[in-house]
Structure 1
Amino acid sequence: MERNLNLKINGTLKLCPLAIAIATAYFPVAQAADASFVEFNTNFMSPDSKSRIDIARYEKGVPVPGKYNVEVLINGVAMGRYDLQVSDGSGALPDGAICLTKKTFINLEINIEKLSKASLELLNGADDDQCLPVDQILPEASFDLDTGEQMLSLAVADIYLIKRPRGYVNPALWDQGITAGILNYNANFYRSVTRNNESDALYAGINSGFNIMGWYFRHNGSLSWQEDAGRRYQSLDTYVQRDIVPLSSRLTLGDAHTTGEQFDTLAFRGIQLANAEQMLPDSQRGYAPLITGIARTNARVKVMQQNRLLYETTVAPGAFEINDLYPTGYGGDLEVIIEEADGSVQRQSIPFASTSNLLRPGITHYSATVGHLRKGWVEDEPLLVEFTWRRGLSNRFTAYSGIQGNEDYKAAQLGLAVGTPVGAFSFDVTHARSTLPKQYESFGRSMSGESYQLKYSHMIQQTGSNISVAAYRFSTEGYMDFMTAMQLREAMDNNDRQIELYRPKSRLGLTANQRLPEGWGNFYASLYQQDYWNQRGSDRQYQFGYNNHIGRINYSLSASRNRNGEGEYETRYMLSMSIPFSSDSLFSQMSVNLNRDNDGRLREQVGLSGTALENNALSYSVSAANANKGGSSSGAFNSSLRTPWTTLQASAGAGKHYHNYSLGMNGTAVLHSGGVTLSPYSGDTMALVEAKGAKGAAVSNYPGVRIDRFGYAVVPYLNAWQMNEISIDPKGLPDDVELNLTSQKVAPYSGAVVKLSYGTTMGTPVLIVLDNDSHVPFGADVFDGEQNAVGVVGQGRRIFARLAQQSGQLKVRWGEAPHQQCLLNYQLPNRAKANNSGMLTLNGRCVAR
């Protein structure tokens, strides 16, 4: 914000206490091309001309010269932290000029081609690290430097900025993190006692990793132990990843899984390169149509969906394009409203429905995998080669294809996704050919076939009907997917004559949701059916449900029926209710569940749950259940306690002829150069916050995350590739600790541990009142024995300072001449003598040098 101040203080008016000191030390300095100033009459600051202080800098509203690391905002959008320089006037730049390097201007997305000739010549003639005045590069911009908040706000005309989609973060700001070790753990001990048996079991799941120089090593596994079966460790994944930013892709080496977007997911050992959609801005992920139109005037354009505003912008006369809508799911057609400057309105409807295969125009997804199928699926680890490709051709069409195979199996897929006014369709066909071992000539030397798949989704706005997933797949008798073909070959190689691999023939899946009129709730239904070529019968699953509420009481009714291939049915009916209580009650919610099966067995369960302690660190629940027809009554207790270091769980249950209990813990340990920091949360992309001396300070909005006694905290669940704001709440800090910075923003790589350091100033806050013999002017600077600035002289010869030593000598200076300096000895008293604000008050005399 630009400030215009033209004030002259004269006459007998006296200045407010600390006005100039506070204004110059903490208030923002606003500048534009025509900087204005305030003129002060120094006679009213100190009648003694010998001790008069030079306040020319304050008159001009100029910050203290030096280098600052500040958060830069352009038109209110955070662009990251950069160094800036405030000139002291000793060189070619005027006193107080604010300058940034050429490299910084480029990283700030300034459209160099739109700059004036003079600005362009200045920029092109500079080295990358040469400091250039902001008002010379962007003479029409206004800027506001707030040294207290360490923030530079720039107001720049759009013509000087490179147009980027919403949510865009400059890759130059992405942070690959520090060298760190990560251990996410989940450990449980379980003991069960029945009338005839006692058993103990132990489980520990780990997700560990090590990050170094942009390489992310990961290992996932589990250790299980049972009293009667012994110990077993199972490795799930072990791989290393690295991001290839120019390709918006991620490279994976080791034991991992294929993407599963077009072919079935397979566990492989090898190498994979695949696009990372998360690197794109939020507004470029998923599917949303490209909107084009023509405005006759400077028009206001709105994009609506079901009477909800999704997007609004202002466009110039002529053709316009909107390509940065956020993904809108299955929400129905879009209405584009163009409000012209003359009051006229244009409207157009954009059909919108999405399947998982649709992409925005111009967006490409791909994956390339070469390796071997891992043991555990088949023993001989056959070769696996897979490549998939998908590209958005236009608003309506997305094409996709893929290949998969090895020397004994080959499959090729071709498909097309289409968005239409009556819904979104996708259709693909996969041809596969499997070569069998020679000894099985009776089966034929090879088997080949096709698999056809059709998907559909649609939202009918007029009726509130949402068919979110409808998929049908039919496979011919000779078709086999990769896994089935490899298992069949292995069985044949092992002379297994009892080969019984069920090959799917057809599969149908349907999910539908119907919103009823206001107050009548919501109805949903789902259907799944699968048939096999070499098995009679089919698997079927049906489910129907209804949700609504009466006041604050939520309830749901559902019915499900399952049929297996042998023709056996299982039917269940369920009623569930959730009843909230007062927030200050011991229990905040009651749940009721009634369950009945097709044999007439009825089970009733009632539960109570609640939370306690600060930030609901303790959660607990009790439940009781009863069942008829041979069933029995039972009860259970569950609890979870989130500590600053880990999350603890405990549970117990008992019923007829049995009882059990379990203990568990989960969380994260991060190993870094400063030691080991523990967290009660488990995450993969994290921030390591460093704030020495700030023990106990709360971090961001994560309950229970606080700075530990070593000065560190781990913040989990950061959004990769996007800006995350990490703040420290200074409330509760000791009086002798002050945060130099309370908030920072960071955009981490996926899987990174980024370090954010928050400087602290240690020292006792002291108010020193100088006696009448101390001829010290208002606004004089105060330094400690190590020449650190610790305070400033205010009205009435009062000094507020933060002192690191229990005793020592301060120097007060208001000029370079010896008679413009004096020395002040101090000895801090006991903290018990502090005033109500926690500040010590001293009396002292400043003696001329």
Structure 2
Amino acid sequence: MSASLPFMRRRAVKAVGCPLAAALALHLVPAQAGFQFDPTFLEIGGGQGSAELQQQIGVMSEGQLPGIYRVDIAMNQRFIERRDIRFVRVTERSSQSDTGLFPCLDADFFRSQGVAEQVLAKRTDSDPSCLAFDQGLAGVSYDYDFNQQTLSIEVPQAYLGDIPFEVRRRQWSSGERVAFTNYSVSGSSVQAETGRRQDQFASLRSGVNAGDWRLRNFSTWRQGSGTPGRWESLETYAQRDMGDMMAIATVGDATTEGDLFDAIPYRGLGISSDLEMLPDNARGFAPVIRGIANGRSRVIIRQRGYVIHEQWVPSGPFALTDLYPTASNGDIEVTVEAADGQLQVYTQSFSSVPYMLREGQHTYSLYLGQYRPATSADQIAPTFVQATLRRGLANGTTLFGGSLLSDGYGAGLFGIAHDFAGFGAVSVDLTHARATDLGANLSTASGQSLRFRYSKSLALTNTTFSLVGYRYSTSGYYAFSEAINRRIEAQATQPYRAADNWVVPAARYRSGHMKSNFNANISQQLGSLGAMYVNLSKTAYWASEAADLSMQMGYNFNVGNISYSLGAGLTQGQRQDRNLTLSVSMPLGGPGNRRLSASTNRSTSGSTAHMATLSGNALKDDLLAYSASVSQRSSAEQRTVGGAFAAQYDAPQAILRGGYSQAGESRQIDLGIEGSVLAYDNHLILGQPLGESNVIVAAPGAAGVSLTNKRGVRTDGNGYAVVPSAMPYRKNRVSLDTQSIPENVDIQQLVQEVTPNRGAFVVADFETRSGRRILFRIRDGLGRVAPFAATAELVAADGHSLGSTLVADNGRAFLTGVPPQARLQVSVGGQPWCSSELHLDDEQAADGITQMNFQCERTPDTAGAEDA
């Protein structure tokens, strides 16, 4: 029989005219060997059973039929993927499943799940595509639940290790050859007492993918009242991943990473580590959990009361290094449970700061190029080389350092980060820099910059210091960008025209010579009483006694379903302002997530503002978001009443937004659109804004099909769409919405999983068949109905299968996606029973279910199964 069975290739059918066929296809349970029943009970009115029926019943009494089934695979109770698996009949050994079937998996599958190579080397199976993994390896077992279509595999922890990098890399896809552009266009018109002003802005993020290479460009265009439009190319570079080096290489106009040194725009060559290539259980900092097990024991790891990891370990000392990234800090509770129930429970504190790496990990970066000034007016563009290195050591310590060398500038950095357990995580680094040619008044400067960062979560009080940082620089210390700005200021003879067209002195526009910087983000959870937060930032400069200070603090809480927020802010710089805000929000119920909110704000400048807003969603899938508000603003001079309306529609081809507001004599209207255009394989696909990595949905002929995991994305008239912002180096699941599939289209596999590398456009290819849904009544030339439980299969002219199903009572068989011409053949137990060509009349209904009497011929080559 065909390897493609009807209940493995499932699709939700809106109307089924054959209840028995559906019940047989979806709810067939395995009959236990040794039990028999009279097949005449399956014939209405009784009568003698046919040889075909007895043959089919005999086959099914041995268990489920072998073939290819789409199943959910889990290993050690962890879901892996959904895929087609070939199942074979177990003959020489007892099956671990009531179905009597064994799943055929090759060695690469087990390698990809971390099964150690020395374990797989013990296998000497004759068929490498069907590894007898349940034989010869103690403790390995499987269970196949046919009704749920789940395959559960259990592998002892002792057989598992790290997944080899080359195995993971083989799963990545470089994607397709494409050309695309991301566009964003906006415009506004403001009518005020002083006159009318219009502004337009557009940006294009374009690219071409060819093999492993990605060419990217970012350009903008801006035009305002009295200012002519002008295009600017901000970045143009080629990039590819260096998988063997776990890094990304970039050449062209780009920007360095801003982790250790400040980000620098450059024209040249760069290569930097990409930690996204690591598996999930190796990304981000996590502590090494150490302990001693008295006999084989289960180790349970909890953080904030939640179990985040569980693993069996052998007797003796153990070290767990593969924790999944948790919150950046918080105490970890370790429970070691022996086989006799004896427990060891202890707490290991844990905190991290951005520079920290796991033990044994390292990252690096190397850039060689020319400084790229922001404007053509800046003529200083020195050549530079920058290198950085980070290395994770034992006991929660990370060392890092770097060097930056250029014409007239040199800097070296060294630092250390350490997790002090109960105290928190701290990083300290020191940078020494020397700069020359800084102007007539200061030809040479040398100094140091000390930076300190701290992170800690207090579990007892539920207080989180997410990041507290302080940096102090001596007066002789200049960062690379500061040194270049100082040189530009020394040469400047003309005022500088900034991007928004107001003229300022060059020295005022350039970044100040920073003396110190302090920032802190602190949050306090209060349980049912709500939460509080404080965000503080202060920057001081050597050339000014005044400092830039910004502080925001607030308290949020709920009473029933009503949300309250109280906030206070302080801004101090060129001018000082304090404000106090109170807002209330409540849901209105009903469709569309409608909410009503009100807020009031009072400032020390003397102004008071009140606002009430109604917001919500409309249309199918809440694709339209809207808000309408009324406001009143009062000051010592005047009182202004206004209103505003804004809306955004997430269309499949673009995102549209617009708004209108009025306050006193001032009126403003703004419109915007953003989306993408993708050229792929003779197709032009319009879609929503793209991300770095993306998935192309290819379902030819299936127009208007939406996706279950991406709002607003729908296939175009040709059956193509783009799912933006896929996760690089991770499996991305793409699932089609069955309710949106056209009546005359059959999609046998509704879920695909793809793994793009960074910047790739990968295809999720859905096999589609356009045709009718037909309930056949099949008889041979003598009027005998097709046997119950026989296989009815559609075969194309080139011989490939178009789908199959089981025959129900009275020779009835339901098939979808039936083309105008095909061959319909019936087989019993793998032997042909009858076969004939199928020709559909154009006048037959194209939608709904067509019922058809079909006569097939019993020719000598289709007489493998004799009648009783």
TM-score (normalised: structure 2): 0.83
Partner of 2:363: 365
Quick one: which of 765, 772, 783 aligns to 1:773? 783
Partner of 1:804: 818
Contact kept, 8 Å, 1:790 with 1:801, in 2: the verdict is: yes
Distance in 2 between residues matched to 1:168 and 1:70, nearest whole Å: 26
Distance 1:615 1:492, change over 3 A: same
Distance 1:107 1:424, change over 3 A: closer
Distance in 2 between residues matched to 1:631 and 1:430, nearest whole Å: 53
Secondary structure (helix, strand or coil) at the match of 1:484 reads helix
Residue 694 of structure 2 corresponds to residue 694 of structure 1? no
Distance in 2 between residues matched to 1:700 and 1:628, nearest whole Å: 47
Identity %: 27
Partner of 2:502: none
Distance in 2 between residues matched to 1:563 and 1:815, nearest whole Å: 84
Distance 1:803 1:526, change over 3 A: closer
Residue 183 of structure 2 corresponds to residue 174 of structure 1? no
Partner of 1:425: 426
Post-superposition shift, 1:347?
2.1
Quick one: which of 514, 534, 540 aligns to 2:524? 514
Q: 1:440-839, aligned counterparts within 5 Å?
A: 440=440, 443-444=442-443, 446-492=444-490, 502-516=512-526, 518-564=527-573, 568-584=575-591, 588-629=594-635, 630-770=638-778, 773-774=783-784, 776-782=786-792, 786=797, 788=801, 790-802=804-816, 804-806=818-820, 810-814=824-828, 820-821=833-834, 823=836, 838-839=848-849
Contact kept, 8 Å, 2:538 with 2:549, in 1: the verdict is: yes
Post-superposition shift, 1:144?
6.7
Distance in 1 between residues matched to 2:102 and 2:578, nearest whole Å: 78
Tell me which amino acid in the other structure corresponds to 1:465: T
Tell me which amino acid in the other structure corresponds to 1:503: H
Contact kept, 8 Å, 1:284 with 1:325, in 2: the verdict is: yes
Partner of 2:406: 406
Post-superposition shift, 1:793?
3.3
Secondary structure (helix, strand or coil) at the match of 1:327 reads coil
Contact kept, 8 Å, 2:451 with 2:472, in 1: the verdict is: yes
Post-superposition shift, 1:253?
1.3
Distance in 2 between residues matched to 1:116 and 1:398, nearest whole Å: 37
Contact kept, 8 Å, 2:744 with 2:846, in 1: the verdict is: no
Partner of 1:189: 187
Post-superposition shift, 1:413?
0.7
Distance 1:108 1:562, change over 3 A: closer
Post-superposition shift, 1:214?
1.7
Distance in 1 between residues matched to 2:352 and 2:829, nearest whole Å: 71
Q: 1:148-227, aligned counterparts within 5 Å?
A: 153=151, 155-158=153-156, 161-164=159-162, 170-227=168-225
Distance 1:833 1:327, change over 3 A: closer
Partner of 1:388: 388
Residues 724-748 of structure 1, C-alpha deviation per residue, up to 9 Å, x if partnerless? 2211122232333221101122222
Distance in 2 between residues matched to 1:413 and 1:506, nearest whole Å: 17
Tell me which amino acid in the other structure corresponds to 1:288: A
Post-superposition shift, 1:436?
1.8
Post-superposition shift, 1:480?
0.6
Distance in 2 between residues matched to 1:61 and 1:491, nearest whole Å: 84
Tell me which amino acid in the other structure corresponds to 1:251: A
Secondary structure (helix, strand or coil) at the match of 2:740 reads coil
Tell me which amino acid in the other structure corresponds to 1:187: V
Distance 1:48 1:655, change over 3 A: closer
Residues 761-784 of structure 1, C-alpha deviation per residue, up to 9 Å, x if partnerless? 332222233568325433444455
Residues 321-362 of structure 1, C-alpha deviation per residue, up to 9 Å, x if partnerless? 222223333442222122333333222221222222222211
Secondary structure (helix, strand or coil) at the match of 2:170 reads helix
Distance 1:790 1:763, change over 3 A: farther
Secondary structure (helix, strand or coil) at the match of 2:557 reads strand
Distance 1:627 1:136, change over 3 A: closer
Secondary structure (helix, strand or coil) at the match of 1:595 reads strand
Contact kept, 8 Å, 2:329 with 2:455, in 1: the verdict is: no
Partner of 1:14: none
Distance in 2 between residues matched to 1:833 and 1:205, nearest whole Å: 46
Give the aligned length.
804
Distance 1:758 1:346, change over 3 A: same
Distance 1:115 1:397, change over 3 A: closer
Tell me which amino acid in the other structure corresponds to 1:588: R
If asked which structure has higher relative contact order (CA below 8 Å, sep 6+), I would say: 2
Tell me which amino acid in the other structure corresponds to 1:578: S
Contact kept, 8 Å, 2:53 with 2:789, in 1: the verdict is: no
Contact kept, 8 Å, 2:21 with 2:814, in 1: the verdict is: no
Partner of 1:5: none
Secondary structure (helix, strand or coil) at the match of 2:452 reads strand
Distance in 1 between residues matched to 2:25 and 2:430, nearest whole Å: 71
Distance in 2 between residues matched to 1:215 and 1:278, nearest whole Å: 18
Post-superposition shift, 1:174?
1.4
Partner of 2:501: none
Secondary structure (helix, strand or coil) at the match of 2:295 reads coil
Quick one: which of 325, 328, 335 aligns to 1:327? 325
Q: Give 5+ residue unaligned stretches, structure 1.
A: 1-16, 90-94
Post-superposition shift, 1:257?
1.3
Tell me which amino acid in the other structure corresponds to 1:114: V
Post-superposition shift, 1:299?
2.7
Tell me which amino acid in the other structure corresponds to 2:393: L
Post-superposition shift, 1:490?
3.7
Post-superposition shift, 1:315?
2.8
Contact kept, 8 Å, 1:668 with 1:683, in 2: the verdict is: no
Q: 1:327-346, aligned counterparts within 5 Å?
A: 327-346=325-344
Secondary structure (helix, strand or coil) at the match of 2:481 reads helix
Moved more, 714-723 or 192-201: 192-201
Distance in 2 between residues matched to 1:131 and 1:283, nearest whole Å: 28
Partner of 2:94: none
Post-superposition shift, 1:226?
2.1
Distance 1:429 1:841, change over 3 A: same
Q: 1:344-359, aligned counterparts within 5 Å?
A: 344-359=342-357
Tell me which amino acid in the other structure corresponds to 2:640: S
Q: Give 5+ residue unaligned stretches, structure 2.
A: 1-17, 91-99, 495-504, 860-868
Post-superposition shift, 1:243?
1.0
Residues 612-654 of structure 1, C-alpha deviation per residue, up to 9 Å, x if partnerless? 1111111111112212223422211101112221111111111
Post-superposition shift, 1:259?
1.0
Tell me which amino acid in the other structure corresponds to 1:821: C
